[in-house]
Structure 1
């Protein structure tokens, strides 16, 4: 059952706590966009992970790991609702989420299909119609994050193996396959491996984070070649969501509670540190997306064994 839209909760801390500004700085004036967006989660249960923003940057979508609900919100008014219910279309959990140029919504299922006859990934129309529920047929696949490539296909990371999947509609059918398997190039380590993914500034490659070891990898879109991105001695441990604006890459480092901002080389073969911004120690941000000049960050509640309300998305001004 879908729950009704909820008004935004504009709290006196929010942005102020993240930026070190006095509490009054977090308040936005009448008619302005909210500093926080309240999600209708279940007390002591709900935890969140992924976020996507539609092409017009008016609507955002947030995935819930504890049940697989997909929440939808209005960037301008702050109103939110549960858009897709728990258990819908065989989904018991959800991770990365994004939209393409037509507003279609791609949802990565994390471990949804492991040891179960359930889909790994879903594609929805903007009106909520299911377009595809896909089983990749890959054992132990943990579909983590998703981005749209220059060819219009969706590219999805696997956190349990050095693989990126490609999802597209071909010859009238939705198809999903292993696009690149980097076994032998990317060592699989204990914990979550490949996660955040974006398209490089020159749109010739994918930039992928390996959070457990704090590395970035370049996947060439034409050849499929995989090479490490030279980040020097920059600490990228706990790298999760990635946001690229021009050549500026923001790395959301969840349990490290830091936003690390890098300047990517045009061909994404190197990066240099621009800034490190500590985030609110009471929150664990996982992923983020840009919307109308601000960064929308998901407060996951991953640090709480029994998560408590309020459940929120927090907005921050982007680095100019």
Structure 2
């Protein structure tokens, strides 16, 4: 989920205003805005919301993790051991047991809810050099990780809760051999419920790629003429939630995909305010939690925040 605006930034513009988003988000007394940190230089990047409402946010600026709850507008540092040498943490997710998986640099780490380090795996160098891990998805039998610096998806096997070595699993260049290897810029990654299909975002190609985990066949997801170089993503059934900050107006895009996840159409676009260069999002209930990274102007200006908005795909209630 490393934002492409490090290469150049597209100014935010309003493509479609969704009326009442922030008001609806706070209708049940939950905050519209969450403060990740008031310390300078944090630059939040990734986010996960566990089933119980626990929120985890990663820091691209410091490598630290922060933790809070959807009912509390202030997050606090999460004492995750064994990552003091990691200066940047990007993707962060939780599993059904509440364990916290995160990536940064060349390392994938797993922590328990107390911050104890359960596992640390280091990615091998790719065809272009040292790995720069970006985002991850946890399936029943594996963790898949994208690499920003190499056109490679890495995989670590999960067996009885134990994490295996992190190894290169797929060189995605075969899907478009003419595209320059250094510009694939792999970013967000999600999986279907069974773990048989991955969707991998590529900032460089401005496209979304479908990967069959059995055959490793790769094909582009057809979304009409839509530029879809997504950053972070969430897949819920056939509904794909994505943050885009490159190649299209910056904001949250919600697409409805076909049953086989090969085609789809964008149904909702939420751009402009209240976002400040969003990088990724999480979904909990009928709310979307969107990270305001400020990565277009580092080190940004505290406080660093997460915005909560109503999920436009949720049924409306009176």
Range class of TM-score, shorter chain: 0.7 to 0.9
2:64 matches 1:75: no
Alignment of 1:129-144 (within 5 A): 129-138=116-125, 139-144=129-134
In structure 1, how many angstroms separate the alpha carbons of the residues matched to 2:46 and 2:154? 18
The counterpart of 2:47, out of the listed 47, 51, 54, is 51
Q: Tell me how far 1:53 sits from its aligned partner.
A: 1.8
Q: Tell me how far 1:87 sits from its aligned partner.
A: 7.9
In structure 2, how many angstroms separate the alpha carbons of the residues matched to 1:159 and 1:59? 28
The counterpart of 2:200, out of the listed 203, 208, 223, is 208
Helix, strand or coil at the partner of 2:261: coil
Question: Taking CA–CA contacts closer than 8 Å with sequence separation of 6 or more, which of the two structures ends up with the larger relative contact order?
Answer: 2
1:235 to 1:57, Cα distance in 2 relative to 1, 3 A: farther
> In the alignment, is the contact (CA less than 8 A) between 2:42 and 2:61 conserved in 1?
yes
> In the alignment, is the contact (CA less than 8 A) between 2:80 and 2:115 conserved in 1?
no
Alignment RMSD, CA only?
Answer: 2.6
How many residues align? The count is: 290
In structure 2, how many angstroms separate the alpha carbons of the residues matched to 1:173 and 1:32? 39
Q: Tell me how far 1:19 sits from its aligned partner.
A: 3.9
The counterpart of 1:37, out of the listed 34, 37, 47, is 34
Query: Which residue in 2 is equivalent to 1:254?
Result: 245
2:216 matches 1:224: yes
In structure 1, how many angstroms separate the alpha carbons of the residues matched to 2:172 and 2:183? 17
Gaps of 5+ in 2: 1-15
Helix, strand or coil at the partner of 1:145: strand
In structure 1, how many angstroms separate the alpha carbons of the residues matched to 2:36 and 2:134? 21
> In the alignment, is the contact (CA less than 8 A) between 2:37 and 2:304 conserved in 1?
yes
Query: Which residue in 1 is equivalent to 2:166?
Result: 176
Q: Tell me how far 1:125 sits from its aligned partner.
A: 1.2
Query: Which residue in 1 is equivalent to 2:86?
Result: 91
1:179 to 1:41, Cα distance in 2 relative to 1, 3 A: farther
Query: What TM-score comes out, normalization by structure 2 length?
Result: 0.82
Q: Tell me how far 1:306 sits from its aligned partner.
A: 3.5
Query: What TM-score comes out, normalization by structure 1 length?
Result: 0.82
1:27 to 1:243, Cα distance in 2 relative to 1, 3 A: closer
1:84 to 1:18, Cα distance in 2 relative to 1, 3 A: farther
Q: Tell me how far 1:262 sits from its aligned partner.
A: 1.2
In structure 1, how many angstroms separate the alpha carbons of the residues matched to 2:26 and 2:266? 31
Q: Tell me how far 1:57 sits from its aligned partner.
A: 3.8
Helix, strand or coil at the partner of 1:90: coil
